[in-house]
Amino acid sequence: MSFVSEFNSLPLAPLVEKSKAAAAAAVRESLSKSKLSLADFANLISPAAAEFLEQMGRRSHVMTQQRFGKVVRLFAPLYLSNECVNNCSYCGFSRDNPILRVTLSLEEMKREAEELKSQGFRNLLLVAGEHPKFVSNNYLRDCIAALHADWPSVSLEVGPMETEDYRPLVAAGADGLVVYQETYDRKIYSEMHTAGPKRNFDWRLETPERAYAAGFRRLGISPLYGLADWRFEALSVVAHADYLLRNCWKAAVTISLPRLRPCAGEFQPLTHMTDRDLAQLVCALRLMFPDVGLTLSTRESARLRDGLLPLGITMMSAGSHTEPGGYTGAGKEKLHQTVRGRIVELASGASEWAPQPDRATNATGQFNIADERSAGEVAELIRKLGYEPVWKDWDAALTA
Ligand code: SF4
């Protein structure tokens, strides 16, 4: 049995209604428990629980420090390619967006990694769109192998694969896999994914299990907030994490909290989640799962990230670029457009593609980031808040 069958039998719609109608007494009762059920979590993300946010924040803060210490782990995304065969309405890399694309060579990827290493990072997330012609499994394996000696922790956020295709990537040195379900609402999922293999909701939902079977020992999951009702998404990701904790127990599970950001294609969010909702969700997730890592990316503003950190965040990206070559300009001589899988060279001298002075490369990013501070500035702020920035997430040598 996979999470798909469990997910299909969950009473999610009634739980969302229960959450929206919860009374203060129900919130108090859930807060009094040491172990929470999905129904308790529904109470903690309810409008009524917003009145308890301060109390929840204090408990979440203490619990996080007890379980994780006063540390925040830092990681950097390294975008390998912005080619993609899928059309996802909310993503700048969508197949039909006429953007500037590139796939980094091994040497170019190493230049980007060197730059991130010089900034202090030792925990890398390799990101790529899904395009087997440009981002083959062998290419990914070679990238991981080239990084393995220097990077104690390499995770992947790439198109989902079969278990057998994941195994060589684990053998090459990848230890973590991040896969956002985007939305757990099947109807909205089918409306948002109009072309490409990503249309298969169940295949994506089972990805963390296939990755675990292949040997990945860190699994990151999340919805993308801004597509379906945020309470529905939060209840779904909690059920998903709970399943993974029970069935993939050798892996560390992390939950991210991404909200939609502006991107090429100019998609507008379908639903709204306020900053206060996000803070309430961080606290509720921590109370639900004392030991699960919570990740906050540069999608959120510096001010909000600084405020959310003490509530329960354990991992952050910093100084991020969401375009391939964004740290060093690597690959910028090869920028092109891709039409039906074929590279189309840019007309030389076209002013539309003139270099932009504030950016290393003109390749198009996946989305605009909100926290534009450098990695050093974020680390400094973490210290000022009384935490230790940790640049490494995992050391294979310690568990060998
Ligand atoms: S979300 Fe992922 S699969 Fe969809 S278009 Fe963007 S990169 Fe491609």
91-115: pLDDT as tens digits: 999 999 999 999 999 999 999 999 9
State the amino acid at position 400 in one-letter form. A
Looking at the chain, the whole-number percentage of residues with pLDDT higher than 70 is: 95
Ligand 1, atom 4: nearest CA belongs to which residue? 88
Residue 382: pLDDT above 50?
Answer: yes
Ligand 1, atom 5: nearest CA belongs to which residue? 94
**Among 174, 181, 188, residue whose Cα is nearest residue 3:** 181
Q: Looking at the CA of residue 95, tell me the nearest atom of ligand 1.
A: 5
Give residues (CB < 6 A) around ligand 1: 84, 86, 88, 91, 93-94, 129-130, 198
pLDDT value of residue 278: 98
Matching residue, tokens 């909690």: 238
Of the pLDDT bands very low, low, confident and very high (cuts 50, 70, 90), residue 399 is very low
Q: Looking at the CA of residue 159, tell me the nearest atom of ligand 1.
A: 3
What would the two tokens of residue 175 be?
A: 């230890």
C-alpha–C-alpha distance, residues 309 and 277, integer Å: 15
Residue 327: pLDDT above 70?
Answer: yes
What would the two tokens of residue 263 be?
A: 């991107």
Residue 357: pLDDT above 80?
Answer: no
Q: Looking at the CA of residue 85, tell me the nearest atom of ligand 1.
A: 8
Q: What's the pLDDT tens digit per position in 273-296?
A: 999 999 999 999 999 999 999 999
C-alpha–C-alpha distance, residues 39 and 6, integer Å: 16
Residue 374: pLDDT above 70?
Answer: yes
Ligand 1 mean position, distance from CA 126 (Å): 14
Strand, coil or helix: what is 262? coil
Ligand 1 mean position, distance from CA 268 (Å): 16
Mutate to test the pocket of ligand 1, among 81, 93, 322 (most ligand atoms within 8 A of CB): 93
C-alpha–C-alpha distance, residues 157 and 366, integer Å: 13
Ligand 1 mean position, distance from CA 99 (Å): 13
Q: What's the pLDDT tens digit per position in 39-86?
A: 999 999 999 999 999 999 999 999 999 999 999 999 999 999 999 999
Of the pLDDT bands very low, low, confident and very high (cuts 50, 70, 90), residue 349 is low
Distant-in-sequence, close-in-space partners of 198: CB < 8 Å, separation ≥ 6? 86, 88, 130, 159, 204
pLDDT value of residue 356: 67
pLDDT value of residue 1: 80
What would the two tokens of residue 16 be?
A: 């969302």
Q: What's the pLDDT tens digit per position in 192-238?
A: 999 999 999 999 999 999 999 999 999 999 999 999 999 999 999 99
C-alpha–C-alpha distance, residues 19 and 27, integer Å: 10
C-alpha–C-alpha distance, residues 6 and 26, integer Å: 26
| 16-25, 53-62, 248-257, 344-353: least confidently modelled range | 344-353
Ligand 1 mean position, distance from CA 83 (Å): 9
pLDDT value of residue 354: 57
pLDDT value of residue 341: 87
Of the pLDDT bands very low, low, confident and very high (cuts 50, 70, 90), residue 381 is very high
Matching residue, tokens 């990945």: 216
Cα separation of the two ends of the chain: 31
Ligand 1, atom 1: nearest CA belongs to which residue? 91
Q: Looking at the CA of residue 366, tell me the nearest atom of ligand 1.
A: 6
pLDDT value of residue 287: 98
Of the pLDDT bands very low, low, confident and very high (cuts 50, 70, 90), residue 359 is confident
What would the two tokens of residue 297 be?
A: 């990316």
